[in-house]
Amino acid sequence: MTTLAMENCECRIHAWSLLLLAWITGTIVLSASGTLREHDILVPVMILLPVAVFALSIYRSPAIRATVLPLDTGVLVILHSWRVVGLGFLLLYAQDVRPGLFAWLAGAGDALAAMGGTLLGIRLLRGDTVSGRTLKAWNSFGLLDFVIAVIVGTALRSAGLGGEINTDAMAALPLSLIPTLIVPAYVITHLIIYLQLHHKPGPGSHTP
């Protein structure tokens, strides 16, 4: 890599780091001030906005595509092992502070995505062969889990059927970081994996 290319790459990394810092700061301010709690529409907007910006960026900018394509697919996949904490929604449901429909859909979906991500991530990091079809199937399931959770959660909040945990706790710190920061970050990793599958021929077993 030439010196100019390295400098351009560093500039893009710094720019994205500043954007991430601004997003985290904005999320904390809106949560702490009660703005998220007062305006239900802000939560889905804050989920979709960073995803839309990233999707548009990789579509319009070859430089950004060139930055994310070399990322280690195995690392991106195994990051989803942390989604096992979604089982916490089932604990909230057991304590009557989370609606059963959302808890079971989001909790069980996250647990399955975490299990698949752990198994596939380990295989990819070891350099084992994983077919592109298998990786795409897991990636699609993991993304669909988020889509369903967001739709159901938003519908329950709008209809006033979600209980206090939906209208208050999920719009206040620290739980507000889940839909406004963690979910968009994970969705973006799904988009990067789709991009890698599209640009890298053969199975998704590449070992960078």
Tens digit of each residue's pLDDT (9 = 90 or more) over 53-81: 999 999 998 988 988 999 999 999 999 99
Nearest to 91 by CA among 165, 187, 161: 165
Nearest to 101 by CA among 154, 32, 51: 154
Q: What are phi and psi of 33, to 5 degrees?
A: -80, -10
pLDDT-based confidence at residue 97 (cuts at 50, 70, 90):
low
Cis peptide before 174 (omega within 30 of 0): yes
Is-contact 185 19, C-beta < 8 A? no
Q: Is the dihedral of CA 149, 88, 50, 5 positive or negative?
A: negative
Tens digit of each residue's pLDDT (9 = 90 or more) over 146-199: 999 888 877 777 776 655 555 456 777 887 888 899 999 999 999 999 999 998
Mean pLDDT across the chain, nearest whole number?
A: 83
Tens digit of each residue's pLDDT (9 = 90 or more) over 131-142: 999 999 999 999
